[in-house]
């Protein structure tokens, strides 16, 4: 039973079962969906929409399986309409979320962009997260290392990072600890999973 005697299939607890893999895992690694108007499946990347949640692991393979095998109807226990571009819509929503969060950290003084500024933050141990464009030069990116015990984000393009930092393009960025940084890392991990066929692999610790 959940809060106030509610059944455990409500959205109270921290773990959920993926309809595609059958695995139970923390909600941070899943994408939540709800049944919207006209029984249409709607992605709820922030987990705030009303209704009973249907969860899928944040990976392109799991999402594509859920769509192809009509698992959303099974999860909803009723026939539902699944948009043709559902996977792409999830990716767009996650991307927008990551860009917004990085932008908020930048405005709070907890994010910098540019090779020299990022290098300085790394040397001063002010950076907790290293961000680099997935389409940036491998040679250039290899000159900077992920902070010790820190995180690496490499699933956004230079243009997408530019949107987050208020520039045309950005190759190197860094986030300080605190604020929304952990949320950025979690959302970027989900985005990377959904983009797994498009690059954005992890970065070796340095």
Instruction: Dump pLDDT digits (tens) for 51-85.
Output: 999 999 999 999 999 999 999 999 999 999 999 99
**Which residues of the chain does CATH 3.30.1230.10 include?**
3-84
The residues near 41 (Cβ < 8 Å, ≥ 6 apart) are 33, 34, 35, 54, 72, 76, 80, 81, 82, 83, 86
Fold exhibited by the domain 3-84: Hypothetical Cytosolic Protein; Chain: A; (3.30.1230)
Architecture of domain 89-198: 2-Layer Sandwich (3.30)
Report how far residue 72's alpha carbon sits from residue 86's, in angstroms, rounded to the nearest whole number: 12
Answer yes or no: is pLDDT of 183 > 50.
yes
Contacts of 194 (CB under 8 A, 6+ apart): 31, 58, 59, 60, 63, 87, 90, 91, 94
**Where are the domain boundaries for CATH 3.30.1330.30 in the chain?**
89-198
Mean pLDDT throughout 192-197?
Answer: 89
Give the pTM: 0.88
């Amino acid at each position: 039973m959940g809060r106030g005697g509610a059944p455990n299939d409500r959205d109270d607890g921290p773990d959920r079962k993926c309809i595609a893999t059958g695995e139970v895992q923390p909600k941070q690694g899943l994408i939540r969906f709800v049944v919207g108007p006209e029984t249409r499946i709607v992605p709820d990347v922030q987990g705030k929409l009303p209704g009973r949640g249907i969860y899928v692991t944040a990976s392109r393979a799991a999402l594509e399986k859920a769509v192809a095998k009509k698992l959303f109807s099974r999860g909803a226990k009723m026939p539902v309409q699944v948009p043709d571009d559902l996977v792409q819509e999830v990716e767009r929503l996650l991307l927008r979320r990551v860009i917004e969060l990085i932008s908020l950290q930048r405005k709070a003084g907890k994010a910098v962009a540019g090779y020299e500024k990022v290098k300085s933050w790394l040397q001063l141990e002010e950076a907790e997260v290293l961000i680099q464009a997935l389409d940036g030069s491998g040679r250039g990116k290899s000159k900077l290392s992920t902070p010790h015990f820190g995180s690496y984000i490499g699933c956004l393009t230079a243009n997408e990072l530019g949107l987050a930092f208020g520039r045309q393009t950005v190759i190197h960025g860094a986030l300080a600890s605190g604020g929304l940084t952990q949320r950025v890392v979690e959302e970027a991990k989900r985005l990377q999973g959904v983009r797994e066929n498009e690059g954005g692999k992890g970065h070796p610790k340095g």
